[in-house]
Amino acid sequence: MFFAVGGAGASTPGADVRLTNDCHPDGGCGAGYVSAYTLATGIPYTDATLDECTISHGRQNEPAVQVDPRNTSLLLGSSNDYCAVYNKGIPAGAVGPIWLGYYRSLDGGSSWTSSLVPGYPDDSSPYAALSQARTATAGDPVIAWDAHGRAFFGSESSGDPAGTAKTFGDVFVARFRNPDGPDATDTTKDGLEYYGTTVVAHGSSAPNLLGVFHDKTAIEADRTGGSCDGNVYFSWSRFNGSGANEIYFVRSTDHGVTFTQPMRLESSLKSLQFPDISVTHNGHVYVTFRTFSSVGPSTDAIYVVKSTDCGKTFSPAQQITTFIPNDAQDQSSPQPVPTQAVSDDPASSEGTDAHSDRSRDCGDFADACTSGYTFFRRDTQVRSTADQFDASHEWIYMVYDATKPGTEAPTGTTYGTDGRGVGGQAGTFFVRYDGASGTHTAPVVIDDQATGHQVFPDISADGGVLHSIWWDSRNDPCYSVTRPIGNCADRTTVPSLDVYGATSTNAGTTWTGKTRITDVSTNPNYEQFDNRAVPFAGDYLWVTSLGSFAYTVWTDWRNTVQGTDPREATEDADQTTSDVHQCRTLNTVQTKKGPVSFWSGDLCPHDGGIDQNIYGDLAP
């Protein structure tokens, strides 16, 4: 049965809508997944991957969405889409691809058609030959429109389609256009025709992501009508091991067909992540990012670099502000892992890093932590944007989710958000940076509340109005700064997250319309990853806007079916609150050394235990 989820108070301004229609024919959520080739040409095409996505009741996270600047009724969305992982049949286990979703709405987000970006490993449509992608999986989708009906999907990708331990770690950009040509009058066809994917940087082939790999992507296009109009800019974090991450950047002057050689943006700082790109009215390009104090000599801070030549060169990094991090973490305390015949996750999937002393997510078995809590990973990150239609200012708008000063307290356990054993309340902070003068406003919390964490914020600006959104746990009945989101003192978990938002018509000086957007509160701590052992919520939410129109998307668990995990010899404290519905058999075989027992994989993955979805709604 479905667990009833509810929320405190009414939500506004519209009804929540599902972007990921992976529950046909029994779930009543649309026509399932339709090939991008069929959507553009009308010619029927399907394959085992699309057929599996249509019925999968699978997992999706890390959503992105962008409104067409030529038509606010047209929205494109994406996510890490795990819908195809059982496309070889359930007995084979989860060996199919994770890929970028391609979700399309022609009615302002009131309904969505679900598809995949072409080029996934089992794609044999005529579009497949247009993709340079060489990997088994793709994720971290980011989207940008130019002003001429073209849309660009950026991604990181990994995994060897041949099934080896190689992980590659590439980044690529996929491009879509109006089949009637640039600036075609029928804007309902904008971003419809796929015309290729370009790999912009290759990672190494070392197993288990031990070599160079690329992650934490960002993309933007110039829509100003100036000398840089139509340029596409893409940035990411390059992971080199030992936490010494770097920010790289490329640009395209031919609408995403080719890109420049990757350029490192900053050489003096260490451990850089979460780049985001902004373009101002004069074509200047800004990239913001975060540093981590855990890898010296850096501090926890936000930086910005600036280009005045269409992304050819950048200024030295300028520090905007330091902050108290709100990076959920615990002490890893692994427990015995049940022997299992086949995996419940593809080899290159997300879900855990709880295999060292410091763990950023906690669950069962190898993912167990000393505190006994179950929680998803999250770190303070910065998101930024500019209003490309504002000809009077060169302002960059930033939001980030950091600890509010004065709220830190000892947790009494190994759990913490500012190092081990110290917790604090996360708030969504806003800063306006003036690129012309290099000055900025003091950080302020957009919606200062006494209760609840505010995490994964985003901000959009085009057309004179700012819109910001974030996940908010003010309706968490077990809220405490000493515990993870949605965790009660007895280690059970509860529905605890809603999306809230606010708007500003005076460049962030004041914020109004502060309201709850989601219709129901959701539980982010379901153990759906790493063989049903740990939660994973992704790393971000997204909002897009043009003037007063704004739309936001988020990861949601309202459709997840709770259950028990038969592999737990002694049921742990989160029984039926974090465990998901699954079906397994314990099998025994005779060997020369005697009987050996092992568990089957999940034999009922279509029954709702991993039904994690992307939902969307209008934003204030």
In a domain, 235, yes or no: yes
The answer to whether residue 255 sits within a structural domain is yes
> Structural domain of residue 451, as residue ranges?
17-618
- pLDDT per residue over 529-578, tens digit each? 999 999 999 999 999 999 999 999 999 999 999 999 999 987 777 778 99
pLDDT of 163: 79
Higher pLDDT, 351 or 407: 407
Residue 7 included in any domain: no
Distance CA 373, CA 571 (A): 14
The count of structural domains within the chain is: 1
Q: From CA 425, how far away is CA 394, in angstroms rounded? A: 32
Is 8 part of any domain? no
In this prediction, residue 209 has a pLDDT band, given cuts at 50, 70 and 90, of low
Please check whether residue 9 lies inside any domain of the structure. no
Residues 444, 397: Cα–Cα separation, whole Å:
12
**Rg, Å, the chain Cα set:** 23
> What pLDDT is recorded for position 2?
27
Alpha carbon separation from 354 to 319, 351, 363, 377 (Å, rounded): 31, 9, 9, 10
Phi, psi angle pair for 39, to nearest 5°: -60, -40
**Looking at the domain assignment, is residue 11 inside a domain?**
no
Q: For 76-104, what is the mean pLDDT?
A: 97
> Any idea which of 77-81, 100-104, 296-300, 467-471 has the lowest mean pLDDT?
296-300
- What are φ and ψ of residue 26, in 5° steps? -90, -15
**CB of 131 closer than 8 Å to CB of 174:** yes
pLDDT in the model for residue 5: 32
pTM, to two decimals: 0.96
Task: Confirm whether 107 is domain-assigned.
Answer: yes
Phi-psi region of 266 (alpha: psi -120 to 50; beta: other; left: phi over 0): beta
CATH number at residue 567: 2.120.10.10
Measured distance CA(564)–CA(579) in Å, rounded? 5
Residue-wise pLDDT for 437-495, tens only, equals 999 999 999 999 999 999 999 999 999 999 999 999 999 999 999 999 999 999 999 99
Distance CA 17, CA 445 (A): 29
Instruction: Report if residue 4 sits inside a domain.
Output: no
Distance from C-alpha of 154 to C-alpha of 237, rounded to nearest angstrom? 13
Question: Which pLDDT value is given to residue 45?
Answer: 98
